[in-house]
Amino acid sequence: MTLATADPFAWIDAAAETRQRAGLVRTLRPRPADSGLLDLASNDYLGLTLDPRVTDAAAEAARRWGGGATGSRLVTGTTELHAELERELAEFCGAEAALVFSSGYTANLAALTALTGPEALIVSDALNHASLIDGCRLSRARIARAAHKDPGAFRAELASRSETRAIAVSDSVFSVDGDAAPLAELAAACRDHGAALVVDDAHGLGVLGAGGSGAVAAAGLAGAPDVVTTVTLSKSLASQGGAVLGPRRVIEHLVQAARTFIFDTGLAPAAAGAALGALRVLRAEPERADRAREVAHLLADALRAEGFESSEPDAAVVSVRAPSPETAVAWAAEVRALGLGVGCFRPPSVPDRFSRLRLTARGDLTDDQISWAVSLLSRTAPEGARRDG
């Protein structure tokens, strides 16, 4: 008897049907260059993606260095521009050294795999980003899941381990609700138990810390010998790519050992140029970071005043609860049709069973734009979206 069926992908249709019934189908919507929408859906936290200083830097880098990096970093893919970006990023965040990757995803895989191994323990926050979870899976280390933002839970796992080597890993700002991790307490737990701390500051860089220098700097941990930070260049820095920042010996080790560094083509020069351009804008205009945090509070307060369940923003992400996946999708579609772009998070991308709209508190939003967005969300809210039902 054989278990083979004629159609090896028949199971895909069954999975699609289940997804459809649960209201969880995801759709690609190619956006035009000028959508006319007020964008509260992207991760362009500082509103720099179309800033001419950023786009000119990208264009200039492409003209000078080419359309691609031409090879992996250890062969031909490290240009002087990559080295310049690494120096300036490290200096901006107060780290000894930095290493640029083709994405934040590959930076996270690099940090978690190259700093651990079968003989190590990784303690990971229960709500960490998918790229950290995948890094844990690839690491071959033993993984302990710690309760969300609970330094005591991290401490207990580190204290009771049999492995000599250990790291703790956490997002600095969690991407769904925009809540911040207790980094200073996590670092203290690590120090007490001879572990290193790895922080994914994808949503903190450019928003938290003095002038947007990030959550690690804000927690007083910049330059710490036992803390490693990963970032993406694709949010506040308005580009594409990622980086690992930390002690020089850690960065040098990643060059030798991180497979997503060694076996991946270097970051495209245009992306390196754009990130460097955005970093220089942020250095010249540090108030952009303060404004992003202010916008987040204005948005969250206005939404609560309208009766919605809104998260308390620690950075530039504000989420609003929706009654169900279907109403969340319909709500997002309705405001989109009326000129407002918002994100929509549903299971399985949420930490609980609640679907949400996710709003980006861009630092370039005006007070009038914030009021307009909140009044539109209020007018179109589905039944059950407000606290009083």
Ligand X SMILES: Cc1ncc(COP(=O)(O)O)c(C=O)c1O
Q: Which stretch binds ligand X (CB under 6 A): 9-17, 22-30, 104-112, 327-335?
A: 104-112
Question: Is 118:111 a contact under the CB 8 Å cutoff?
Answer: no
Residue with tokens 């995801």: 26
Name the residue type at position 107: A
Question: How far, in whole angstroms, is CA 113 from its chain's centroid?
Answer: 19
Residue from 49, 79, 131, 260 that binds ligand X (CB under 6 A)?
A: 131
Question: Is 245:98 a contact under the CB 8 Å cutoff?
Answer: yes
Q: Does 104 bind ligand X (CB under 6 A)?
A: yes
Q: Which of 136, 216, 211 is nearest to 172 (CA)?
A: 216
Q: Return phi, psi of residue 220, to 5°.
A: 75, 25
What residues from 197 to 236 belong to the interface with ligand X (CB under 6 A)? 200, 202-203, 232, 234
List the beta bridge partners of residue 145.
124
Residue from 45, 65, 92, 105 that binds ligand X (CB under 6 A)?
A: 105
Number of residues counted as binding ligand X (CB under 6 A): 14
Question: How far, in whole angstroms, is CA 171 from its chain's centroid?
Answer: 8
User: Per-residue x/- mask for ligand X, residues 34 to 53, rule CB under 6 A?
Assistant: --------------------
Long-range contacts of 294-297 (CB under 8 A, 24+ apart): 295/361, 295/362, 295/363, 295/365, 295/370, 296/178, 296/361
Whichever of 135 and 277 has its CB closer to ligand X, that residue is 135
What residues from 159 to 198 belong to the interface with ligand X (CB under 6 A)? 171, 175
Whichever of 89 and 202 has its CB closer to ligand X, that residue is 202
Whichever of 343 and 374 has its CB closer to ligand X, that residue is 343
Q: How far is the CB of 1 from ligand X (least distance, A)?
A: 45
Whichever of 79 and 108 has its CB closer to ligand X, that residue is 108
Residue with tokens 């920042």: 245
Q: How far is the CB of 128 from ligand X (least distance, A)?
A: 8
Residue from 47, 77, 242, 363 that binds ligand X (CB under 6 A)?
A: 242
The C-alpha atoms of residue 278 and residue 207 are separated, in whole angstroms, by 13
Whichever of 234 and 311 has its CB closer to ligand X, that residue is 234
Kindly report the number of other CB atoms within 10 A of residue 53's CB atom: 14
Q: Does 129 bind ligand X (CB under 6 A)?
A: yes
Whichever of 79 and 234 has its CB closer to ligand X, that residue is 234
Residue with tokens 């083509």: 265
Q: Does a cis peptide bond (omega within 30 degrees of 0) precede residue 348? A: yes
Q: Does 264 bind ligand X (CB under 6 A)?
A: no
Name the residue type at position 135: G
Q: How far is the CB of 129 from ligand X (least distance, A)?
A: 4
Question: Is 341:37 a contact under the CB 8 Å cutoff?
Answer: yes
Q: Which stretch binds ligand X (CB under 6 A): 66-74, 101-109, 134-142, 281-289?
A: 101-109
Whichever of 108 and 113 has its CB closer to ligand X, that residue is 108
List the beta bridge partners of residue 72.
265
Q: Does 343 bind ligand X (CB under 6 A)?
A: no
Q: Which stretch binds ligand X (CB under 6 A): 51-59, 98-106, 180-188, 299-307?
A: 98-106
Residue with tokens 């880098």: 61
Sheet with 355-360, side-by-side order of all strands: 38-40, 340-345, 355-360, 317-322
Q: Does 108 bind ligand X (CB under 6 A)?
A: yes
Instruction: Output the residue with the shortest Cβ distance to ligand X.
Output: 104
Which residues make up the interface to ligand X (CB under 6 A)?
103-105, 108, 129, 131, 171, 175, 200, 202-203, 232, 234, 242
